[in-house]
A and B are shown apart, each in its own frame.
Chain A
């Protein structure tokens, strides 16, 4: 078996690795490969021309496996671009942004690296919150895309063509997630449950939710970030949490469904993937849910599509766009189901230093 690729903390990247990473991303942008990821992400949560909105990758059980395949494809394309630029077989991997250990101005452990002008670039500034320096500043080399794919309704952008950020300015995301919040999510033992959407585990007002997510039967919905977090029974809740909270904290271009326009998206989701791997490694026998044959549900409360269509979310359903379709850019897409990606080690990568020795690529979830 080939050696595992090791995905590392962005703080541990060498200056050469950061430089090559940025150049490869810019090369992907130049060739149109990067914008395939923006469009595919838009399509995953947008209306088709027939009026349906399948929410393949958000608000639903496949949130985690869909994004695992999404960033794995991105990593492979990144390595292809790096190989083309350097003339050598690429050893780049996706780095992760550990936003838990990175949450206050007193504990900005590696602030200057991720947001430096030689990597992701800085916070936005001015009334438009424009990122005005670094490799992804506004200009012909980094024009944001808001295109949706064939068969989807156009997404009229509210955002500008240049990258924007507004760290911590949204009152719903004025701080990054904490270790306590992640520990509370990690303690949950059930992957997901009916009605399989963003309302799972959310008590209607004015009933408070359980303190520290206790007893909620949806690790997925808690980790995606839709369940209010109460630190104590009398504390005011944080409404937006964990994965979602990071999108809101960065703000700007990371807020709309076109969020991969900000290249920090992939470092964020690499960390989401790493934490899911931690949760799974706590007990690899935990089943992914819904199992095959689980019927659709309905849930009219605040849902983009009240019909909870589970096609694409069952254990052995192909996850669009990995359903054998002919993609204009990528050709024939492979068929990938949640079952295919539950064990990240079997996909050929691991996380340094979190993966436990007890796990193996042959472990069966």
Chain B
């Protein structure tokens, strides 16, 4: 629990999964996340529910525009 950073497909991801406030940012841009009890949803991947915040963040990073363009 707490803040941690990872990279996926060239994108930097910062996750704070403190139970009081779950936040995720990709390349510094915050994501909207909804959910609880192990099912999470984001409008950036609107047709899936994710079992973890990490899975959700990686899935969004995979469709995020690369910084080099």
Contacts and interface: CB of A to CB of B under 8 A. Distances in A.
B32 to A, nearest CB: 8
A304 B37 contact: no
Interface string A230-247: 000000000110011001
Interface string B23-55: 000100101101111111101111111000000
Interface string B57-69: 0011011111001
Contact of A302 (B31, B40, B46): B40
B49 A160 contact: no
B41 A256 contact: no
Given A158-B60, A160-B65, A255 B44 contact: yes
A300 B47 contact: no
A251 B46 contact: no
A255 B45 contact: yes
B63 A58 contact: no
Contacts of B66: 127-128
Given A159-B63, A170-B59, A251-B63, A128 B46 contact: no
Given A164-B63, A302-B36, A156 B29 contact: yes
Interface size class of A (residues with CB under 8 A): 35 or more
B49 A198 contact: yes
Nearest to A47: B32
Contacts of B35: 301-304
A300 B32 CA distance: 17
A305 B36 CA distance: 11
B25 to A, nearest CB: 11
Nearest to A304: B34
Nearest to B29: A156
Interface string A40-74: 00100111000001000010000000000000000
Contacts of B64: 158-159
Contacts of A251: 63
Contact of A158 (B31, B36, B37): B31
B58 to A, nearest CB: 10
Contact of B44 (A128, A158, A164, A205): A158
A170 B26 CA distance: 18
A127 B63 CA distance: 10
Interface residues of B, number: 28
Interface in A250-284: 251-252, 255-257, 259
Contacts of B31: 158
Nearest to A305: B34
B45 to A, nearest CB: 5
A303 B36 CA distance: 8
Nearest to A243: B47
Contact of B46 (A170, A255, A303): A255
Contacts of B69: 128, 160
A159 B47 CA distance: 15
B24 to A, nearest CB: 11
Interface of A: 42, 45-47, 53, 58, 127-129, 155-156, 158-160, 164, 166, 169-170, 172, 198-199, 204-205, 225-226, 239-240, 243-244, 247-248, 251-252, 255-257, 259, 300-305
Interface of B: 10, 26, 29, 31-32, 34-41, 43-49, 59-60, 62-66, 69
17 contacts: A127-B66, A128-B69, A129-B63, A156-B29, A158-B65, A159-B44, A159-B65, A160-B69, A169-B62, A240-B47, A243-B47, A255-B45, A255-B63, A302-B34, A303-B41, A304-B35, A305-B34
